[in-house]
Structure 1
Amino acid sequence: MITQGYLLGERYKILDTLGEGGMANVYLAEDIILQRKVAVKVLRLDLQRDPQTLHRFRREALATSELSHPNIVSVLDIGTDQGSPYMVMEYVKGPDLHQYLHDHYPLPFDLIIKIMDQILSAVALAHKHNVIHRDLKPENILIDENGKIKIADFGIAVALNQSTITQTNSTMGSVHYMSPEQTRGGMVTKQSDIYSLGIILYELIAGKVPFGGDSPISIALKHTHEPIPSLTKQNPAVPQALENVVLKATAKDPRDRYRSVIDMRSDLDTSLDPKRALEPVFLPQHDPNIEETRVLPVLIKDHAEEMSQANQNDKKAKNKKPASDKQKKGFWRNFYEHKFWFLGSIFSVIVILLILLLALGGRNSTQVPDLTNFTQSQARDSLNAAGLEIGDVSYQHSDKVEKGHIISSLPNKGSTIQRGQTVDLIISSGSGKTEVPDVTGLTYNQAKKKLTKLGFSVSREDSYSDSTKGTVINQSILAGEKVGASETTITLIVSRGKKSKPKSKTVKLRDLVGYSLKSVQDYAQENGLILKTEEQYSDSIDNGLVITQNPEPGSTLSKGDTLTVTVSKGKQSSTNNSEKITKSFTVDYDLNNANNGQGNHVQIYIADDSHQIENIYRDQYIKQDTNFSIPFEISKGTGTLIVVKDGTTIINERINK
């Protein structure tokens, strides 16, 4: 544990403890440079020598830092303090979704959709970067004071190009929200996250999870075998279309679930439409052919013990028979006692035989061999050796398996089935990557038609520009790139036309001479003015106070106009040995964070002989790559330059003489 007041990384002052986890402790801290509250996650001291834990901690930091989205908790900084790895995240003040639901249930359907839309938007971004969360649950979803959703804890998130097989004997995520394939130790895909999202949606509607139990095993078996309890029967006010979103997202077979989170969101957003009022109940199309879990024999044994106990109870109940005399009573008691002990023994033997039969698979059963990367001919030989035959053969694109070789089989490898049965094969038809065309300049409808014809999914974002309204001005994947069309969503930036400048609120400029720089900064911010500062020595004006201003007092300015003030550096000393240094750098423009057309928000902080780091030196928005040249005056020691773009520090360095 880190004590209150400790300065972590010479920058983050620990204020309080927010939580203690199995891998790391989370603290509330203050960034003493930018003077804002942050959450700091520090790897526990006893785990810092564990390579696997270190890898998982770094993986969480990497996975989250690569996901820039308003509904994902941002990673602001990563570092090490005296050998302790830590990461700094934005501080979200508010409850998690579990607590929020507890405090506000029942939630209106439109609010549920609003909450889910934010969650789905964030997960869609993660899936776009091929990152699967794997632990989606209300406890990992935070709600800030403004009602905005923030998804946290990518500690077990895994990129699709890494291993996506969970170990059967390890618990990953909460069993209440895990997909059937996750609990069986099978392949974890984007559809696994979609299953968890469906369970979360169910809980928001019903106020509870669909399945409970005395142990994780019993809950996992219910997810695997039992249908989702009907929401419409519990609450007739639930629209069938809304329940259908839950049913499709939580289908036992991943093939019956939504193809993408974008598809789920589109379906959810229309679920309250009166036109869908008579929609039939969703029915899955596939038989998941789910194999039993490793704990099945244990469960049967437990059941056998329960039956044996019930048999003994039944024996005791039947022993309580009336008798006409002591001899008759004793005779019948011995008769029934031996009879039920005999039947109980037979029952126990039968149960044990059944357990052995299930455990050993029976003489006529066999296991499906691993056919991955086999040719169809090799697969036939391997199956025939196991007493099996090739069933249906289908093809799908694969970037990892060579064309003509096996991707997977149904049932999966290792499944126990009867000899003589067939095994379906899925064979690679090659990479199937499609070159992305250039659709800029086309209308949105033309571009969407062109892209969907090639198999891409399309989403739309509107932005003001000088281009004709309704035409595509940018696309999220550049033309010429080759990607898997069926797995890719291309976001098109569509022109809203030129933004008409609203009549700006004007301000009559006051006389600012003699004001402190902080007062002028507050005045400029309140009136939407861009402040530019200059400095010079003065024998009559104290250091830090305004000497002159431009425009002059009484001038009329509008929001966005520039106000320039000259600030006194105090009297010039004859022994002043300060050195003037100019630091030049470029801030790149990021179209994806255009702040509704305003551009990227850039804030510059400097520290030298005349400036303190806590005061904003320059505050502006940019709409293109912009060059900056910042002058420093340093007489002793070093200066500091900090540049923040859209809330993220992009430059933090010392300036030496």
Structure 2
Amino acid sequence: MIDKGYLLGERYRILDTLGEGGMANVYLAEDIILQRKVAVKVLRLDLQKDPQIEARFQREALATSELSHPNIISVLDVGNDQGLPYMVMEYVNGPDLKDYIRDNSPLDLHEVIRIMNQILSAVALAHKHNVIHRDLKPQNILMDKRGNVKIADFGIAVALNQSSITQTNSVMGSVHYMSPEQTRGGLVTKQSDIYSLGIILYELITGKVPFNGDTPVAIALKHAQEPIPSIRKKDPDVPQALENVVLKATAKDPRDRYASAQEMKADLDTSLDFSRKDEPPFVPNHGVNNDETIILPGFKPKESDSEEKDEKKDLDSEENNTKKNKASEKPSFWQTVKNHKWWFVFIGIAAFLIVFIMIFALSGKNNNENKIRVPDVTNLSEGTAKDKLEKAGLEIGEVIRKHSDSIDAGKVIETKPSPGDSVKKGRSVDIIISSGAGMTKVPDVVRENYELAADKLENLGFDVIRENQYSMEIPEGQVISQSIAAGVEVKPKQTTITLVVSQGKPPRPKKSLITLKDLKNYSLKSAQDYAKEHGLTLQINQEYSEDVEKGMVISMQPKVGTRVERGSTVTIVVSKGPKEEQKVTNITKTFTVDYVAPTKDENDDSDNKKMDEKSSGEGNHVQIYIKDDDHSLGNIYRDLYIKHDMSFSIPFSLKEGDGQLRVVRDGQTILNEKVTK
């Protein structure tokens, strides 16, 4: 355990303990530079020298850092404090999904779909990057105060290209949510995660898991052999189409499950549609896989009397045959050689062969002594990597530079030959150095066909999420809007762009009477979904409330139980929260600092010439000062040296009043302006 107040990595001050796990402990900490709370996962002290545990910890950091999604916990920093590996993540102040279900069950079906859609969107991105979570469960899904979910704990996640750990004989994960093939130690695929998602959806709807038992083995056997209990038998109000999503996701045979999380999300989105009200129950194409039978250690079936007699008869017969065979047994090879008159010739040949083999083995040993293994210099600086390779007896070959989203600029991405390869002493090794993440301008795809727009963005490296929306102006299949404006420069492999796609004009509402249900304490999104489902026009008013949580419905008009026609207007009042609550405005200020090369004057012997010579080595000295609710203009926000033009994006948090930005280059203020809401 780390004591409160300890400054980890000279930056993160430990405030409290959030949780203790089998592999790592999680602490609440304060980032003293950015002055914000973060969650820090630290490898347990007693596991520091375990290479498998440390590799799993590093794998979690790598898997999560490559996934940039609003519903996945962000990794902010990875470091090592006096030999103690740690990982810094965003802090989510809220319950996990297990506690949320327990405190709020039964959940409204619209709320179930809203939560599940966020989870599916995040898993779809992970699968697109070939990362399987393997331990999806409500305890690993956090919820913030706005009701947004965040998937955490990629500690046993595995990349599909890591064949050495994709199939394992050890069972990892939580047995209540594990797929049948996972409990058998079989091949773990994306469909294994989809099975877990189906169990989570079952629990969101019913408030509990489908299978329980006295032991993990009993629960695992139920997952492998018993059908998922019917949701509609317990609650007939659940549509068959929604239950079918659960049944298909939790099919025993992976071939019967959804091909992807995106396909499951698309099916879930329409599960409450009126057009699917008469849908038949889902029936899998393949039966239950009972190919693998587990035999418990020490178990031996009791034999019948007849079997014992037959066995005794067989033993007697075998004993008689053995005696006969001994009498007619042929002499061994060495006995034959010994009895031969040329036995000494055979002995000589054997001795010659033994000497030849020993000489060959010693020769191979000498060859191996001239070979060394390429050391691992990944993530080291260029100079440190070269020193390490040269000390190992290797030459430095070609130095190649390329962009990398996961390795910092100036550090080694990989070597050729690879680390661990056996090569001759003096062999040249090529080093590939990171030049930092490449920035790409987001293209304008509004009013383009969705398929063409998605292909264009994906070819640039972006992840694309589709959202459908009716439009009176934009033809069906064309993009209405994009979540990141055209022309903005971002890192494609760390960016997800949501495209809102037109479904065409909304269908004309049918003239049928609807009995209004009570929307009080619904979220605004759930109320909008209800209005959309029943063809109602929703008029939204807002007012402050001390009793009703912000974003929740206070009242509605017409009243509950009123029968209205499709197309009618329903007015709801949505809470703005307590009146004294101040609204926080987040603003990002983007600017570029130009690099100014030092001037050279051969006749200048002053101190200015010495300063120019120093700056030419280190670059321009840039200091950035900001003023907002979290920072004071008297403290330096960023202090660095640049050797080329550099762009900055600085976030400001403003509750009331204005902020201020000041930039100083080599002691001179080059930018000083006010930042307003």
Query: Structure 1 length normalisation: TM-score?
Result: 0.52
State whether residues 605 and 618 of structure 1, in contact with CA within 8 Å, keep that contact through their aligned partners in structure 2. Answer: no
For 2:636, the aligned partner's letter is I
Partner of 1:65: 65
What displacement does 1:603 show? 10
In 1, Cα distance between equivalents of 2:222 and 2:99 = 25
Is 1:218–2:241 an aligned residue pair?
Answer: no
Report the secondary structure of 1:242's partner residue.
helix
- Residues 183 and 220, structure 2, Cα contact 8 Å, conserved in 1: yes
Structure 1 counterpart SS, 2:222: helix
Q: 2: distance between equivalents of 1:55 and 1:206?
A: 38
- Secondary structure of the residue aligned to 1:52 is helix
1:461/1:584 Cα in 2 relative to 1: closer, same or farther (>3 Å)? farther
Q: CA deviation at 1:632?
A: 3.9
Q: Is the 8 A contact 1:604 1:618 kept in 2?
A: no
The match for 1:202 is: 202
- Cα 1:4/1:579, change in 2 over 3 Å: farther
Q: Which letter does structure 1 place at the counterpart of 2:48?
A: Q
- Contact 1:106–1:207 (8 Å) recurs in 2: yes
* Residue 158 (structure 1) aligns with: 158
Q: Indicate the SS of the match to 1:111.
A: helix
Report the Cα distance in structure 2 between the residues aligned to 1:71 and 1:459, rounded to whole angstroms. Answer: 13
Counterpart in 1 of 2:40? 40
- Cα distance between partner residues in 1 of 2:55 and 2:586: 49
Aligned to 2:280: 280
1:574-653 equivalent positions in 2, closer than 5 A: 611-614=634-637, 619=650, 631-632=664-665
- What is the DSSP-based 3-state SS (H/G/I as helix, E as strand, rest coil) of the residue aligned with 1:120? helix
Amino acid of the structure 1 residue aligned with 2:168: Q
What letter matches 1:157 in structure 2? A
Does structure 1 residue 447 correspond to structure 2 residue 480?
no
Instruction: Give CA deviations for 1:411-448 in whole Å, capped at 9, x if unaligned.
Output: xxxxxxxxxxxxxxxxxxxxxxxxxxx99798416738
Q: Does 1:257 align with 2:262?
A: no
Counterparts of 1:291 and 1:88, CA distance in 2: 44
Equivalence for 1:267 = 267
Give ranges in structure 2 of 5+ residues lacking alignment.
309-442, 457-462, 485-495, 503-583, 594-606, 640-647, 653-660, 669-677
Q: Could you tell me which residue of structure 2 aligns to residue 137 of structure 1?
A: 137
Deviations 1:516-549, CA, capped at 9 Å, x for gaps: xxxxxxxxx9797979999xxxxxxxxxxxxxxx
Deviation of 1:350 after TM superposition, in Å, equals: 5.5
Matches within 5 A, 1:30-179: 30-163=30-163, 164-168=165-169, 170-179=170-179
Q: Deviations over 1:423-476 (max 9, x none)?
A: xxxxxxxxxxxxxxx99798416738999xxxxx9853699xxxx994699999
With over 3 angstroms needed to count, the CA separation of the structure-2 counterparts of 1:153 and 1:294, relative to structure 1, is same
Q: Distance in 1 between matches of 2:221 and 2:171?
A: 14
How far apart are 1:16 and its partner, in Å?
0.3
Tell whether the 8 Å contact from 1:140 to 1:153 is kept in structure 2 after alignment: yes
User: What is the letter of the counterpart of residue 227 of structure 1?
Assistant: P
CA contact (8 A) 1:56 1:156 kept: yes
What SS class does the counterpart of residue 71 from structure 2 fall into? coil
> After the TM superposition, which residues 324-473 of structure 1 pair with which residues of structure 2 at under 5 Å, given as runs?
349=303, 443-444=448-449, 447=452, 460=466, 470=478
Q: 1:61 and 1:294, CA in 2 relative to 1: closer, same or farther beyond 3 A?
A: same
Kept in 2, the 8 Å contact 1:584–1:630? The answer is no
Equivalents in 2 of 1:38, 1:352: separation in Å? 72
Note if contact 1:12-1:32 (Cα within 8 Å) is conserved in structure 2: yes
> 1:153 Cα deviation (Å)?
0.2
Higher mean alpha-carbon deviation, 57-66 vs 283-292, is at 283-292
CA 1:76–1:253: 2 relative to 1, 3 Å:
same
Deviation per residue, 1:307-346 (Å, 9 max, x gap): xxxxxxxxxxxxxxxxxxxxxxxxxxxxxxxxxxxxxxxx
Deviation at 1:619, TM superposition (A): 3.9
TM-score (norm 2): 0.51
Following the alignment from structure 1 to structure 2, what is the Cα–Cα distance between the partners of residues 68 and 215?
Answer: 38
Alpha-carbon distance in 1 for matches of 2:587, 2:98 = 40
Question: Aligned partners of 1:255 and 1:585: how far apart in 2?
Answer: 60
Determine helix, strand or coil for the equivalent of 1:76: strand
For 2:83 and 2:454, locate their aligned partners in 1 and report how far apart those are by CA, in whole Å. Answer: 55
Distance 1:108-1:471 versus aligned 2 partners, 3 A rule: closer
Structure 1 unmatched runs, 5+: 305-347, 355-437, 452-456, 477-489, 497-524, 535-574, 587-601, 622-627, 636-657
Counterpart position of 1:502: none
Q: What is the CA–CA distance in structure 2 between the aligned matches of 1:151 and 1:352, rounded to whole Å?
A: 61
Instruction: Give 1:32 deviation, angstroms.
Output: 0.4
Q: C-alpha displacement at 1:494, in angstroms? A: 7.2
- Equivalent pair of 2:42/2:84 in contact (CA under 8 Å): yes
SS of residue in 1 equivalent to 2:56: helix
**Alpha-carbon distance in structure 2 between the residues aligned to 1:78 and 1:190:** 27
SS, match of residue 26 in structure 1: strand
Per-residue deviation at 1:45? 0.8
Aligned to 1:186: 186
Contact 1:461–1:491 (Cα < 8 Å) also in 2: no
Structure-1 separation of matches of 2:192 and 2:211: 17
Residues 484-523 of structure 1 aligned to structure 2 (within 5 Å) = none
Which letter maps to 1:167? T
Residue 6 of structure 2 corresponds to which residue in structure 1? 6
Kept after mapping to 1: 8 A contact 2:132/2:159: yes
Q: Name the aligned partner's letter for residue 449 of structure 2.
A: Y
Distance, in Å, in 1 between the alignment partners of 2:626 and 2:246 is 48
Deviations 1:11-53 (A, max 9, x none): 0000000011111111000000000000000001111101101
- 2:291 aligned with 1:291: yes
Of all paired residues, the percent bearing the same amino acid is 60
In the superposition, relative to structure 1, how do residues 25 and 200 fare at CA in structure 2: closer, same or farther (>3 Å)?
A: same
Query: Closer, same or farther in 2 for the Cα pair 1:615/1:605, shift >3 Å?
Result: farther
CA contact (8 A) 2:60 2:157 kept: yes
Tell me if structure 2 keeps the 8 A contact 1:165–1:185.
Answer: no
Partner SS state of residue 212, structure 2? coil
User: SS where residue 203 of structure 1 aligns?
Assistant: helix
Aligned CA distance change for structure 1 residues 62 and 629 (closer, same or farther; 3 Å): farther
